[in-house]
Amino acid sequence: MAELDFEEIVDKHYTMLYRFALTLTHNVANASDLTQQTFYKWAIKGHQLRDPKKLKAWLFTTLHREFLSTRRFEKSHPHYGVDIAESEIPTVTADVVNRIDASVAVAALERIDELFRVPLVLFHLEDYSYKEIAEILEIPIGTVMSRISRGRNQLLKLLTECEGESKAKIVPLSPQQKNQGL
């Protein structure tokens, strides 16, 4: 197949692809992104097209598949604005942070479920990256990120629950308690 000129392909098909993307997304920015992603795919994989007559169909099919892929991702990973999720974010005042000393934080950390504590400690105390933690624990990066997030939430909950109470509420676990899973 004779090498097709990338700029010619973009000039010839951009408007049609953009209009198609706009009808799918109903959003100018998303339509632009989708069109650009389609041409990016062409730049990477276009050499595999054997019949130049099928170029237009290939571009439209690729754009549609990218749209479906994006939509699936957005459904499984919904985006919430801060104003919507604000009620779920615990309030931590500056005086609470100032009253927490290292021993209280470590004691609270010991009470977090080990499943979440290990990645949390590796990330915050040992300065490992998500990728390094995933390799160490032999789990996917997404699982690492999820466990760190859940561990932070558990830690924050433990620390904020004792806000109005004595710091003595959070005490390190004894060896017997650790063995019993408390």
CA gap 150, 144 in Å, rounded: 10
pLDDT digits (tens, 9 = 90+) for 31-67: 999 999 999 998 888 778 888 788 888 899 999 999 9
Among residues 25, 173, 163, 46, the alpha carbon closest in space to that of 108 is found at 173
Supply φ then ψ for residue 153, to 5 degrees: -60, -40
Residue 90: Cβ-neighbour burial (10 angstroms; 0-12, 13-18, 19+):
exposed
User: Which of 76, 106, 135 is a domain's end point?
Assistant: 76
| pLDDT-wise least confident of 18-32, 90-104, 152-166 | 90-104
Q: Specify whether 53 is located in the same domain as 104.
A: no
Q: Specify whether 115 is located in the same domain as 71.
A: no
Q: Evaluate whether residue 146 is within a structural domain.
A: yes
pLDDT score, position 37: 93
Answer whether residue 88 shows pLDDT above 50.
Answer: yes
pLDDT digits (tens, 9 = 90+) for 135-159: 889 899 999 999 999 999 998 888 8
Q: Evaluate whether residue 1 is within a structural domain.
A: no
Q: Specify whether 93 is located in the same domain as 48.
A: no
Domain count, the chain: 2
Q: Evaluate whether residue 36 is within a structural domain.
A: yes
Domain with residue 125: its CATH number is 1.10.10.10
DSSP secondary structure letters along 27-58: -HHHHHHHHHHHHHHHHHHGGG---GGGHHHH
Give the confidence band of 69 by pLDDT, cuts at 50, 70, 90. Answer: very high
Report which listed range, 24-38, 116-130, 153-167, 168-182, is most confident: 24-38
User: Which of 58, 76, 94 is a domain's end point?
Assistant: 76
Q: What is the mean pLDDT of residues 13-42?
A: 92
| pLDDT-wise least confident of 90-99, 126-135, 143-152, 162-171 | 162-171
Q: What is the share, in percent, of the chain residues with pLDDT greater than 70? A: 73
Domain with residue 18: its CATH number is 1.10.1740.10
pLDDT score, position 166: 47
Task: Tell me which residue has tokens 């500056």.
Answer: 94
User: Which of 21, 54, 76 is a domain's end point?
Assistant: 76
Amino acid in the structure at residue 150: R
Distance of CA 35 to the CA centre of its chain: 24
Domain ranges, residue 27:
6-76
The CA distances from residue 165 to 101, 153, 162, 168, in Å, are 15, 19, 5, 8
Q: Specify whether 114 is located in the same domain as 163.
A: yes
Q: Specify whether 134 is located in the same domain as 160.
A: yes
Q: Evaluate whether residue 179 is within a structural domain.
A: no
Q: What is the mean pLDDT of residues 9-21?
A: 91
Q: Specify whether 165 is located in the same domain as 88.
A: yes
* Residue 59 host element (H or E): helix 55-76
Q: Specify whether 114 is located in the same domain as 157.
A: yes
Contact yes or no for 52/1 (Cβ under 8 A): yes
Q: Evaluate whether residue 113 is within a structural domain.
A: yes
